[in-house]
A and B are shown apart, each in its own frame.
Chain A
């Protein structure tokens, strides 16, 4: 059992502004724990988490014997601060960056990310609501996902691996893996098919779980 990160330094006040770890977070932790042996064997160097929120996922000691570089991004400044503090609390140096998705990292992390993690704002909302949430960069940005809950995720899916015409950059290293949290409304089979057809990425459902009204999935993409 890998212990859940220590979050005792975070308070109610923090969670007014930052996503509090919930079932989706814990499902992602469980998926990483399940893959821990393989992840460790692949000797990752760079681990990038998009939308790190509290920092709970990036602080999880799943590669504890072989420290990679943990880089995290969030559009919410409070989240970036919490992530940094959570890293310090759990003795994992996390480089917490205030940026949207992979902005500022895309150029240098081309084909360099060994482990990519994203628990996105996945709740279906009106498109305007997602736009406003992105603009405000506050707590609503943690869940408001626009059409099919895919508005933000779709941008990331385009950056993970080039399309057949190689026109876009790609993040994953040759042995890189991408873990994505999704809900049923996001159309998980559709996402997987699209990633296979357009980006030639294989995928597996690592875990799925019903939590209240949500049917949550963790999907792992790789070059197979």
Chain B
């Protein structure tokens, strides 16, 4: 599955594509919502590993506008609940991710992103 947490960790890795290769743009995506177990400690710990603007942007593209432009200093429960939902409960099942730099298309099918490259595209 491609949750937004996963999307936040994937970058284009085609040969020579080393800058502006993240975040991948979402295209024609179909989304499913699934409940995940809430764990505030995990979220507080994980926030340092997130590229925040990329997450906010991806969520907005999918119609979720609950996250602020900057992560707040006070991470109260209300904020963490929203973060939890965006990171872990939105699953992209179908669609594609496109590199903003080289336009390489990575399809998503049955919740599995195909990040394979053809032989000549491997760096």
Contact = CB atoms under 8 A, between A and B. Distances in A.
Interface residues of B, number: 33
Contact of A98 (B5, B13, B21, B114): B114
Identify whether the interface residues of B are mostly helix, strand, loop, or mixed.
loop
A84 B6 CA distance: 14
Nearest to B119: A135
Given A96-B112, A103-B117, A68 B13 contact: no
Interface in A101-129: 103-109, 112
Nearest to A107: B11
A25 B122 CA distance: 30
A103 B6 contact: no
Interface residues of A, number: 28
Contacts of A40: none
Interface string A78-100: 00110010000000010111111
Given A45-B42, A67-B42, A95-B1, A84 B22 contact: no
A46 B48 CA distance: 12
B11 A67 contact: no
B117 to A, nearest CB: 7
Given A69-B5, A71-B9, A98-B114, A107 B21 contact: yes
Interface of B: 1-3, 5-6, 8-13, 21-22, 36-37, 39, 41-42, 45-46, 49, 51, 88, 106, 110-117, 122
Which 3 pairs across A and B sit closest by C-beta, in order of nearness? Answer: A99-B115, A107-B11, A104-B115
